[in-house]
Structure 1
Amino acid sequence: MKKANEMPVNAPKHALILAAGVGSRLRPLTDLSPKPLVRIHGIPILHNALHHLGRLGVEQVTIAVGYRKEAIQEACGSRFGNVAIKYVESAVYDRTGSAYSLWLARDALLCGDSLVLEGDVFFEENVLRQLIVSEAPNAAAVAPFHELMQGTAVLLSDLGLISEFRLKQTARNLIANGPPLYKTINLLRLSASTLRTTVIPALDDMIRAGATQAYTEELLSYLVETRGLLLAAVRCDDLRWYEIDDVEDLRTAERIFAKAGTLDPTAHG
């Protein structure tokens, strides 16, 4: 069995972080600073992700930026520890969805197997490790949907594949004796083949059709439910993570990560 501190041998060498959004629900914290730089116990969300990516073998990260892009570029530079960083800039971040940022970074996704992360998720290293060591070529990290959550949820098949996406879910969607709902953690692993033959052509079709406000979850829903994408669910039930959209989410994340130092903030080199 692989030890917790060993680097996975099959880790993708490239990752994409989507970090272009305005983060309006976190104002006034995001009036001058973009959401990915909001701090949990003194650690910016983006630095936490870069730290874990580097520890698990990722060598190149592309960050899609837009709102307050200069702040992100200054905070992360061209290298974070052992991770080389490139940027893709969106000039229309205030009127486009995350799928548009994904499309802007499509050339980076042709580098090979890739991890795709949203820039507003604070997580412990083992969440990412679980995703990387999964034997499935295409996988998404998920956790049971509970009453305090909101956002995109999924249903799972008996084989552990994502069978359906349900957007804009809240506690009201938790039905007694209904099928279990799982929250998407917004960390993905996608194979080079799937990116080249399925994801990028679908993105091209969406943008050509004018669907520039679509979110990544809508793209995945389309691919799973109409294009037959086999997307495995990597269960992270007992691991620590939180998606931060508003001030209450920020407080929750502070509580979840109150007991342990998640990373060494001095690792940025």
Structure 2
Amino acid sequence: MQAIILAAGMGRRLKQLTEHQPKCMVPVNKIPLIERMLRQLDQYDLEKIILVTGHKGELLRSFVESLSLRTTVVFIDNPVYETTNNIYSLYLAKDCLLEDDTLLLESDLIFEQEVLTQIIKDPRPNLALTAPFESWMDGTVVLIDQQDNIMKFLTRKDFRFEDIHSYYKTVNIYKFSQNFSSTHYVPFLEAYSKALGNNAYYEQVLKVISLLDDHDLKASRLENGFWYEIDDEQDLDIAESIFTDSQSRLLRLSERYGGYWRYPGLLDFCYLVNPYFPNSRLMGEIKASFEILTTSYPSGLDINNLLAAKSLGLDKNQVLTGNGATELIKPLLRSFEKPVGVLRPSFSEYENCAASVIPYTVSSRDFSYTAEDLMDFYSDKELSALVLVNPDNPSGNYIKKEDVQKLAQFCKDRNALLILDESFLDFSDKEEEPSFMTPEILNANQNLVLIKSISKSYGVPGLRLGILTCADPDIIALVRKELPIWNINSLAEYFLQIFEKYQGDYRDALKQFQETRDELFSLLGSIRQLTLYPSQANFILCEVRDGCSAHQIAELLLNRYNILVKDLSHKPGMEGRECIRIAVRNKEDNKRLCDALKHILR
């Protein structure tokens, strides 16, 4: 067997990175793409590797010759790389295709070793390596039947996003037998080039061959190993976070704060959403209006405040909508002259936004605390405001409504605000009506500022929706002046417009969630090395015992099982404790996580 690598392209989308070097020499974590690929191929007993060069070909040849590989590398130059596409690069290597079984690869790929091993060890002679299509992917897409026959190479005209669940993306790694090249690929390649020219992709030939009854080209569905195709700087950035050492990968992914749909198969137990809402009916309504929403301006802030107030049963003059709760937190916290009381551990954004803070560090073993604890601590301290996240993050600690009312009165007596974050309150099952978000309560407690992340409770973090409500017009005006006219998009506005009629579905989803949380708590509780702390939120705090490190557990989950959890070992207020936070997802995902934890801790 031999390998052919197509490396003639200019890689214009990588801009200055390919101005003075070929695309395949762009480094990923300091290792050029082509070096990584050649060293991976060098681990197999290949007869030779044929490298088709073009842009900066002499530089590429010189670099490859310096690598001291066991396998012989043969170079073929494409002198017209600027005016042709990769079909001509392969045409120049067609005689090599006739000499041996061949692996065909594109040089802008990065992958783990097991990706290559799968297609090489697969006994079937003619294969296209494929992966389930995901929304971030671009390039050649195929339809596959249950016997792995490639039924069709889809054109742009054929492609329908509503059918992507049945599509497969080619990984751009192929295996052709010598016979297949002789009887099918090379004859069709020559005919295609003669009839239609050389400014096309070599997959066009496969598309024609797939129409034959006897083409014998199968799909090999990728089972293990990561891969990525690097076309632009964003691809390069993502590839560097995937293909890094195991110690760095967790940090790099955590620093992205989301966007994980571009990471193949990643299961996110780090970020916190509602796994059972929105339901398909609500999503269907949004999809039906997607085109008009995407092409239309949203309403201004005042209209969206009115929408939110209507849906939540509040006075429109007491509500502000934000591009996520963080947009509302910042101007409020930065306005205070005196210190702000914050808890540790808790949601750090409040502490990060305040000019000065007086922290209350929770000292109990299980991270629980009461309203009385807070009042005792702050009784002799002068504050502008006290922040309470209830249930708290990451502990899940819950304070009953009557005790929160005492805390509001405590703050009022000291001319301080109580900033009450109810982002996780809907997940609680302790009380029937735990929320303070009613006109009656707000009007009776003008020093009370309520903040709620719609993203977390309603499961729409991509819409970036948050609510601030307060009966004090000065507080509303203070935050309002810092917000732009258009601060939320049309999709978020439409959600505000319609979600009121789905409140019954939302309540059902919360009941289903509470049952799932209880089941997850039970599953995690069966793992001897974990101590669990009761949670009224949509996550569970776990402390790792028996000398295990929370960071090690998080690394192993990510690197072995592609599961992301939150390592809390360095969070303020949790130093010296080995804790991880686990989001509650659906039952299937939760079981997968628990099985992975059992294997790691076993």
Q: TM-score range by the shorter chain?
A: 0.7 to 0.9
Equivalent-residue separation in structure 1 for 2:118 and 2:23 (angstroms): 25
The corresponding residue for 1:55 is 43
Question: Is 1:233 matched up with 2:233?
Answer: no
Question: Is 1:127 matched up with 2:115?
Answer: yes
Q: What's the CA shift string for 1:112-141, capped at 9, x where partnerless?
A: 111110111011111010001111110011
The corresponding residue for 2:79 is 91
Equivalent-residue separation in structure 2 for 1:237 and 1:154 (angstroms): 17
Contact 1:78–1:85 (CA<8 Å) still a contact in 2?
no
Q: What's the CA shift string for 1:216-253, capped at 9, x where partnerless?
A: 11111111124642221111144211011111111111
Question: Is 1:259 matched up with 2:255?
Answer: no
Q: State the identity as a percent.
A: 35
Per mean C-alpha deviation after superposition, the further-off stretch among 75-84 and 23-32 is: 75-84
Cα–Cα, structure 1 residues 59 and 141, in superposed 2: closer, same or farther, change >3 Å?
same
Contact 2:113–2:225 (CA<8 Å) still a contact in 1?
no
Contact 1:50–1:80 (CA<8 Å) still a contact in 2?
no
Question: Is 1:184 matched up with 2:170?
Answer: yes
Question: Is 1:66 matched up with 2:66?
Answer: no
Q: Deviation of residue 97 (structure 1)?
A: 1.4
The corresponding residue for 1:38 is 26
Query: Where do 1:212-223 residues align within 5 Å?
Result: 212-223=198-209
Q: Deviation of residue 155 (structure 1)?
A: 1.0
The corresponding residue for 2:10 is 22
Contact 1:174–1:181 (CA<8 Å) still a contact in 2?
no
Equivalent-residue separation in structure 1 for 2:15 and 2:214 (angstroms): 39
CA RMSD between the two structures: 1.9
Contact 1:138–1:188 (CA<8 Å) still a contact in 2?
yes
Contact 2:131–2:222 (CA<8 Å) still a contact in 1?
yes
Equivalent-residue separation in structure 2 for 1:49 and 1:260 (angstroms): 19
Per mean C-alpha deviation after superposition, the further-off stretch among 132-141 and 223-232 is: 223-232
The corresponding residue for 1:175 is 162
Larger of the two Rg values belongs to structure: 2
> What SS does structure 2 have at the residue aligned with 1:82?
coil
1:183 partner amino acid: K
Equivalent-residue separation in structure 2 for 1:254 and 1:78 (angstroms): 24
Contact 1:117–1:188 (CA<8 Å) still a contact in 2?
yes
The corresponding residue for 1:155 is 143
Question: Is 1:244 matched up with 2:227?
Answer: no
The corresponding residue for 1:144 is 132
Equivalent-residue separation in structure 1 for 2:246 and 2:47 (angstroms): 26
Equivalent-residue separation in structure 2 for 1:78 and 1:228 (angstroms): 44
Contact 2:144–2:150 (CA<8 Å) still a contact in 1?
yes
Higher RCO structure (Cα 8 Å, ≥6 apart): 1
Cα–Cα, structure 1 residues 15 and 260, in superposed 2: closer, same or farther, change >3 Å?
farther
Equivalent-residue separation in structure 1 for 2:199 and 2:154 (angstroms): 17
Question: Is 1:194 matched up with 2:177?
Answer: no
Equivalent-residue separation in structure 2 for 1:44 and 1:17 (angstroms): 15
Gaps of 5+ in 2: 248-602
Equivalent-residue separation in structure 2 for 1:179 and 1:144 (angstroms): 8
TM-score, normalised relative to structure 1: 0.86
Cα–Cα, structure 1 residues 158 and 23, in superposed 2: closer, same or farther, change >3 Å?
same
> What SS does structure 1 have at the residue aligned with 2:3?
strand
Q: What's the CA shift string for 1:56-83, capped at 9, x where partnerless?
A: 2223001011111011101101874211
Equivalent-residue separation in structure 1 for 2:176 and 2:108 (angstroms): 19
Partner of residue 101 from structure 1, selected from 71, 79, 89: 89
Q: Deviation of residue 163 (structure 1)?
A: 1.2
Equivalent-residue separation in structure 1 for 2:151 and 2:136 (angstroms): 23
Equivalent-residue separation in structure 2 for 1:50 and 1:108 (angstroms): 18
Cα–Cα, structure 1 residues 228 and 122, in superposed 2: closer, same or farther, change >3 Å?
same
Per mean C-alpha deviation after superposition, the further-off stretch among 55-64 and 22-31 is: 55-64
> What SS does structure 1 have at the residue aligned with 2:82?
helix
Equivalent-residue separation in structure 2 for 1:221 and 1:233 (angstroms): 13
Equivalent-residue separation in structure 2 for 1:225 and 1:256 (angstroms): 37
> What SS does structure 2 have at the residue aligned with 1:29?
helix
Equivalent-residue separation in structure 2 for 1:80 and 1:110 (angstroms): 27
Equivalent-residue separation in structure 1 for 2:160 and 2:30 (angstroms): 34
Contact 1:79–1:85 (CA<8 Å) still a contact in 2?
no
Q: Deviation of residue 174 (structure 1)?
A: 3.2
Per mean C-alpha deviation after superposition, the further-off stretch among 188-197 and 78-87 is: 78-87
2:204 partner amino acid: E
* Higher-strand-fraction structure: 1
The corresponding residue for 2:452 is none
Partner of residue 118 from structure 1, selected from 96, 106, 117: 106
> What SS does structure 2 have at the residue aligned with 1:146?
coil
Q: Deviation of residue 258 (structure 1)?
A: 2.3
Equivalent-residue separation in structure 2 for 1:207 and 1:27 (angstroms): 29
> What SS does structure 2 have at the residue aligned with 1:55?
coil
Q: Deviation of residue 168 (structure 1)?
A: 5.4
Aligned length: 246
Cα–Cα, structure 1 residues 227 and 93, in superposed 2: closer, same or farther, change >3 Å?
farther
Equivalent-residue separation in structure 1 for 2:173 and 2:223 (angstroms): 14
* Higher-helix-fraction structure: 2
Q: Deviation of residue 211 (structure 1)?
A: 2.1
